[in-house]
Amino acid sequence: MLEIKNLYVKVDGNEILKGVSLTAKDNEVTVLMGPNGSGKSTLANTLMGHPKFEITKGEIKFNDILLNELSPEERAKLGLFLSFQYPQEISGVSVRNFLRTAYNAIKGTKLTPVEFKKIIEEKMELLKVDKSFADRYLNEGFSGGEKKRSEILQLAVLEPKFAILDETDSGLDIDSLKTVAQGVNKIKEKIKSGVLIITHYKRILDYVKPNKVYIMKSGKIVEEGGIELVEKLEKEGYEWLED
């Protein structure tokens, strides 16, 4: 379980998060919504230990382990995973080699390319990803949908205990959105991990059903509840929310 208590975070001296408290349970889908600039991506990066994001108060616990001072690598080894809103291109490094390196680092193994081949091909079959995808350079020349599928493939291969998906639905057409959502559902069902979906929009939630919904505005959680909150946002936008 991921527990965030009274979290305050500064970026470049500016306070962005102002007392955020949130709980996300194992084997459940938790959703964080909010308008642009509300602090959603700041929270995602803080959870993974990005050094630019300074915790000034509060705490983050994962399965009762305090994360505040842990490095991104240490958090990843505990089972946290972050799918980026804007995945970076890495020229000259294939998806296959990138994932094998990440897998070995996180799992503490030394799988050879031959040994890893079975793992990645099994996950690509699960997600219905063409095998040629593994030999392309990471995100180089990828469409928006392909970049997001690459992130979901990483999720499937690394099998984290808890996945943070930061606007994974951003910029996707309906077919790509369905593919990504189906991938999230399959992985969640297989490894029973907790998932935190950060999004602006309802559409991914038509395919990935949330157990709990939080709404953030101006660096604070201002509402929490169930799917009824999503429906209200769809009809009324964010204007009715108080800071």
Query: What is the pLDDT at residue 241?
Result: 78
- 241 within domain boundaries: no
Alpha-carbon Rg for the chain, nearest whole angstrom, is 18
Q: How far apart are CA 221 and CA 214, in angstroms?
A: 7
Assess if residue 196 is contained within a domain.
yes
* Domain range for 98: 2-42+49-236
In a domain, 243, yes or no: no
Q: Does residue 151 lie in a domain region?
A: yes
Q: What's the length of the chain?
A: 243
Per-residue confidence (pLDDT) for residue 75, from 0 to 100: 94
- pLDDT given for residue 243 in this prediction: 65
**What pLDDT score was predicted for residue 85?**
66
The predicted pLDDT at position 203 comes to: 85
Residue 197 lies in a domain: yes
The model carries a pTM of: 0.88
Tell whether 166 is covered by a domain: yes
What is the three-state SS of the chain?
CEEEEEEEEEECCEEEEEEEEEEECCCCEEEEECCCCCCHHHHHHHHCCCCCEEEEEEEEEECCEECCCCCHHHHHHHCEEEECCCCCCEEEEEHHHHHHHHHHHHHCCCCCHHHHHHHHHHHHHHHCCCHHHHHCEECCCCCHHHHHHHHHHHHHHHCCCEEEEECCCCCCCHHHHHHHHHHHHHHHHHHCCEEEEEECCCHHHHCCCCCEEEEEECCEEEEEECHHHHHHHHHHCCCCCCC
Question: Taking the chain (243 residues) in consecutive chunks of 10 residues, what is each chunk's mean pLDDT?
Answer: 96 95 93 92 94 96 95 92 78 92 92 93 85 88 81 88 87 80 83 88 87 94 92 84 72
pLDDT tens-digit readout, 11-64: 999 999 999 999 999 889 999 999 888 999 999 999 999 999 999 999 999 999
Q: How many domains does the chain have?
A: 1
Q: Does the residue 219 lie in any domain?
A: yes
- How far apart are the C-alpha atoms of 98 and 105, rounded to whole Å? 11
CATH number (domain holding residue 133): 3.40.50.300
Please check whether residue 242 lies inside any domain of the structure.
no
